[in-house]
Structure 1
């Protein structure tokens, strides 16, 4: 299930690494997206 979510995240959600987003200047919404992607990716790998 998490592997499917990880693939959907990659397709739908923005990639802040390519945009070189500074975490200190990120909004709460951007931080929530980063946290969600981290949560799903960590579960998909285990």
Structure 2
């Protein structure tokens, strides 16, 4: 059940949130908001793959 929820969240993230890797964002120059988005996407992806 949990894994399905995170897979759904991962699909929503992919559709809604920006992909900073495609934009070649330098993480050392990212704002706190951008870092929060990166962290959220990482968390959801990790949970969806476990």
TM-score, length basis structure 1: 0.99
Partner-residue secondary structure (3-state), 1:38: helix
TM-score, length basis structure 2: 0.91
Which is greater in Rg? Answer: 2
Partner of 2:10: 6
Runs of 4+ in 1 over 4 A off after TM superposition: none
The number of equivalent residue pairs is 46
What root-mean-square deviation, in Å, do the aligned CA atoms of Structure 1 and Structure 2 show?
A: 0.2
Structure 2 unpaired stretches of 5+? none
Identify which of 14, 29, 43 aligns with 1:39: 43
